[in-house]
Amino acid sequence: MAESTRRHGTSNSADTAPTEILPVLHHSSSRHPSSVVRRLSSVIRADHAAGGSAIVAALAVLAVSGDLPFGTLAFPGAGMMPKLVCALMILLGAILVARGGASAPFTDIGWSDLPHAARVLAVTAAAVALYTTLGFIVTMSLMLFALIAFEGRNLVAAAVYSVGVSLLTYGLFTIVLKSPLEQGVLGF
Amino acid sequence: METLDSLLLGFSVALRPDVLWYGFLGCLVGTLVGVLPGIGPLSGISILLPITFGLDATKAIVMLAGIYYGSQYGGSTTSILMRIPGEASSVMTCIDGYAMARKGRAGAALCIAAVGSWIAGTFGVVVLTAIAPPLAAFALRFGPPEYTALLVLGLIFLAYMSSTSLPRTLLMAAIGLLLGTVGIDNLTGHFRYAFDIAELGDGIGIVPVAVGLFGLGEILSTPSATVVGEVMTPKLRELLPNLKEWRQSGWPIARGSVLGFLIGLTPGSAHIISSFLSYAVERKLSRHPEEFGNGAVAGVAGPESANNAASTGAFVPMLALGLPTGPVTAVLMAALIVHGVQPGPQLVNEHPDVFWGFVASMYVGNVLLLLLNLPLVGLFVNVLRIPYSYLYPLVIMFCVIGVYTVNNSIVDVWIMLIMGVLGYFLRKLGLDPAPLVLGLVISPTFELSLRQSLIMSNGYWTIFFTRPIAFVLFIIAAALLSLSLLALLRKRSDWRTKLAEAEAGEGAQ
């Protein structure tokens, strides 16, 4: 919690930021479009993004809730709770957008960890897709190996570690904890 | 007298060798979870939840609770020796704990942290033993309107106590409430947002959401290059504090225990808030405030005691009212429900062995943790020598196993992945994911009690104001909401803003 707060959560240093949008738009016609985007993104705050996303998400949920009846107060239907919560999300999202100037600038958010996140996510997603087909040992060995190899570690050590850990975990769950793991088409 | 008899029954359960073994295992794993940066108690409990499926409810809850309070003990180790908080509630311990370590008093700091944690934990259990049963008896008067009011109060209290802001916290809770509506509607049988995916008929589980948001989300935002640290290993003979250090730690431990327990009763990240408040209180009361930041004993003793007492305090509303005050207690509640035990006012009467066995196991667990943490500190520190690039793939593997094994459902694992991405972006935007998990947990109960209340009253909202308990709860909620809105409109710094600034400042050091 402290980490996230430290990075983006509590900056009150830029209360005047929303007013900066006017000069940006005023000068936009004489500038290159990419610089306009850059300037515009510099006045967007973390809470603008959070509030805007919440509103869009709530509207999307409302759009797919058409067949859920709201019911009456005497007999509320299946759609009452989701629709009330969506309305609450839109309200709170609007408050966040309106008061967004107090939050950290969107451009101040560090994205240096994005390549790491994308890599981990891609490898894990591939492993999840293969999990039921290839089974625990093969899938997890491959996943561990890929993740460690991407970190630039010694490939032989990574391979030994990956296979060893997968086999040990499989044994621990299947034999000691009597909680069998996925076997897949290969039978292990 | 009746309580004492019941407690004896509890000890007869908790001291059974098999229960004791699982309690020890939970404490050991919890200490490791606390020591390792990036794995919090929530992900630890969620990952190991499926392992408890083969156990009875008592052993399962004893083991999982051991992980929770064990992680509070273990979190201090990395804070003191490496200036890395193994757990969020140990952030304050980093400041003076590490400063003590630099002065060659690492062993004393570890010992004070462990003894303070033990005293606070035991104090918390004693108070829990005294107040949980009468509170549960009182809660038997609750019907659907009272539960609705209680849950609304819980959410408002969570938002009020949050060190971010009211709209942010409520927005996160609202997303959780919305996710909780996925699946078959209990009253009408409608399929909601299932999109022809059969697995979503039962709704979105707590485990995939919690593991995704906290476990995977943390890993996604922590590249291995950023995890570095120099590990100091104190020698066993250096572990005893001197007389002056014992004297300096006495009152901070006592104050931290009381403060932590009281804060632990309230919804929110109580164990984190309590350690920050305890640190602030000790600095305020100290005759030598200039020592804080340079190795003040009170700066270790107070926060460490407070976070352990808060962890125990959080069990009171969970056990007595069936109301989780945070994501960890929410997952523990889910674990009990999986084992066919519904936490709440009926728990003491319907499952006395589980309730009292669990309470007694906490007395035993605190002693086990004291014995584990001091002599074995060198062993735990060695775990930190495993390179992070080898460690995090292992954690991901356990996340996958943990989530998949709950229902043998690959859909749950995909949900975990989606939640991991959501958790990553929430961190980027400075939003705390904890209220989302809480919203998800209370959503079914909240919806059911709200609709039942309206059906009972034939559609009149006034039912919430004509029943005394519900009315009082709503009045308290309205008062808290008004206080928060007032601070929001005046744009004035109140204690929560100051707390957030303190967190940001200390975290940045």
Which of these three, A108, A126, A142, is where a domain ends? A108
Complex ipTM more than 0.90, yes or no: no
Q: How confident is the model at residue A51 (pLDDT cuts 50, 70, 90)?
A: very high
pLDDT, tens digit, for every residue of B95-153? 888 888 888 888 888 888 888 888 988 888 888 888 888 888 888 888 899 989 988 88
DSSP A71: B
Task: Tell me: do A159 and A77 sit in the same domain.
Answer: no
A184 within some domain:
no
| Six token digits for residue B302 | 């107070």
Nearest to A177 among B54, B175, B455 (CB): B54
Q: Do B405 and A181 lie within an 8 Å CB cutoff? A: yes
Domain that holds residue A162: 114-176
* Average pLDDT, integer, range B3-22: 85
User: Nearest-CA distance from A30 to chain B in Å?
Assistant: 32
The number of domains in chain B is 1
pLDDT in tens, B343-362: 888 887 888 888 888 888 88
Residue B223 in tokens: 């590249």
Which of A78, A108, A138 is the last residue before a domain boundary?
A: A108
Instruction: Return all residues near B270 (Cβ < 8 A) that are at least 6 apart.
Output: B161, B260, B263, B264, B310, B313, B314, B325, B326
Q: Are residues A92 and A128 in the same domain?
A: no
Decide: helix, strand or coil at residue B15.
Answer: coil
The answer on pLDDT for A173 being more than 90 is no
Residues A87 and A131 in one domain: no
pTM as predicted: 0.77
Choosing from A82, A108, A134, the residue where a domain stops is: A108
Of B190, B389, B443, the CB nearest to A78: B190
B193-216 pLDDT, tens digit each: 988 888 898 899 888 888 888 778
Does A95 fall in a domain? yes
Model pLDDT, residue A162? 95
Cα separation, B441 vs B453, in Å, equals 20
Opening angle at CA B273, ends A8 and A109, nearest 5? 5
User: Residue A114 and residue A96: Cα distance in Å, rounded?
Assistant: 25
The reply to whether A96 and A126 lie within a common domain is: no
Residue A188 domain-assigned (yes or no): no
* A24 and A65 part of one domain: yes
Please tell me which residue, B308 or B496, carries the higher pLDDT value.
B308
Lookup result for tokens 């201090």: B76
On whether both A118 and A77 belong to a single domain, the answer is: no
Instruction: Identify whether residues A28 and A62 lie together within a single domain.
Output: yes
How far is residue B281's CA from residue A174's CA, in Å, rounded to a whole number? 50
Q: Does B21 touch chain A (CB under 8 A)?
A: no
- For residues B308 and B35, give the distance between their C-alpha atoms in angstroms, rounded to a whole number: 15
- Structure confidence at residue B330 (pLDDT): 82
Are residue A56 and residue A120 in the same domain, yes or no?
no
Which token pair is B435?
Answer: 């209220």
Q: Are residues A101 and A164 in the same domain?
A: no
Is position A68 within any domain?
A: yes
Tally of structural domains, chain A: 2
In this structure, the answer to whether residues A18 and A91 fall within a common structural domain is yes
Q: Do B51 and A120 touch (CB under 8 A)?
A: no
Four-residue CA torsion sign, B318, B323, B327, B332: positive
Q: pLDDT at residue B192 above 90?
A: yes
The reported pLDDT for the residue numbered B107 is 82
Mean pLDDT of the A90-105 span: 89
- Predicted confidence at residue B447, as pLDDT, reads 93
Print the domain residue range for B289.
Answer: 2-508
Q: What are the pLDDT digits (tens) for B429-450?
A: 888 887 888 888 889 889 999 9
Q: Does B337 touch chain A (CB under 8 A)?
A: no
Interface A-B, measured as beta-carbon pairs within 8 A, has a size of 215
User: What is the rounded average pLDDT of the residues B384-403?
Assistant: 84
| Of B177, B450, B506, Cβ closest to residue A2 | B506
